[in-house]
Homo-oligomer: A and B are copies of this chain.
Amino acid sequence: MSNTIPSIGRRGLMLVMSSPSGAGKTTISRALLDRDPGISMSVSATTRAPRPGEVEGKDYYFVSVERFQAMVEAGEFLEHARVFDNYYGTPRAPVEAVLRQGRDVLFDIDWQGTQQMRDTARADLVSVFVLPPSVKELERRLHTRAQDSAEVVAKRMAKAGDEMSHWPEYDYIVVNVNVEASIREVQSVLNAERLRRERQIGMHDFVTKLRGLD
């Protein structure tokens, strides 16, 4: 049984998860999306061409470079970046619509995207950084993931190191020793943040009634 009072609404939140690749973030995100019906993945806009099977509005919003740049200039992105020759960004409007319904949005972005979102998302932002339990385990996961040369893995390790240096910019830190424990931990963060006073809309009217003043 839940603790829901219909007259108390809730403003959704933006849950950002960042980590070096190989720390297990994708597994944790997927489990969260599977198990918690109140949260869904953010959808990015991109200038790259759709791949076979990709669905407009579900996998991506596919836009032209001109349209993308117009959106940047109009401040329509929560965060955006150029990756090689393509642009990627998260449009604010669809996220806002979800938050207003009292539902949450999950973002899988790096420290640069998160830095942008600290300005654009403000009080709606909740940020979690996922760390691997050890260098050895990170190395092992980066190896398992792709059958690449030692050189490629070394490059990935260096990139992981750069990403990890940004842990002090996040609200919560999860060290992914055990993936089930990590899923539960991120779920706790989500559950707790939903109970924050400032997200519970209608509380003022609810308490006014409780106090017999209405």
| This chain: copies in complex | 2
- Residues from chain B with a CB closer than 8 A to the CB of A153 are none
Tell me if A144 counts as interface (CB < 8 A to partner B). no
Indicate if the CB atoms of B188 and A174 lie closer than 8 Å. Answer: no
Q: Does A161 contact B (CB under 8 A)?
A: yes
A96 neighbours in B (Cβ, 8 Å)? none
Pull 5 A–B residue pairs with CB atoms less than 8 Å apart, ordered by A.
A3-B175, A167-B203, A172-B195, A173-B197, A173-B200
A171: Cβ under 8 A from any B Cβ: yes
Minimum CB–CB distance for A60 against chain B, Å: 31
Of the stretches A61-69, A79-87, A130-138, the one at the interface is A130-138
Q: Do the beta carbons of A178 and B1 come within 8 Å of each other? A: yes
- Name A residues whose Cβ lies closer than 8 Å to a Cβ of B: 1-5, 8, 128-129, 131-135, 138, 157, 161, 164-165, 167-168, 170-178, 180-182, 184-185, 187-189, 191-193, 195-197, 200, 203-204, 206-207, 209-213
Q: Are A1 and B197 in contact (CB under 8 A)?
A: no
Query: Contact check: which of B1, B177, B191 meets A180 at CB < 8 Å?
Result: B1
Closest chain B residue to A138 by CB distance?
Answer: B210
Whether A197 pairs with B185 at a CB distance below 8 angstroms is: no
A178 close to B3 (CB less than 8 A):
yes
A135 touches B195 (CB 8 A): no
Contacts of A195 in B (CB 8 A): 128, 172-174, 185, 188-189
For A175, A204, A210, A211, the residue with the greatest tally of chain B CB atoms inside 10 Å of its CB is A210
Residues of B with C-beta under 8 A to A165: 207, 211
Candidates B4, B172, B180, B188; contact of A197 at CB < 8 Å:
B172
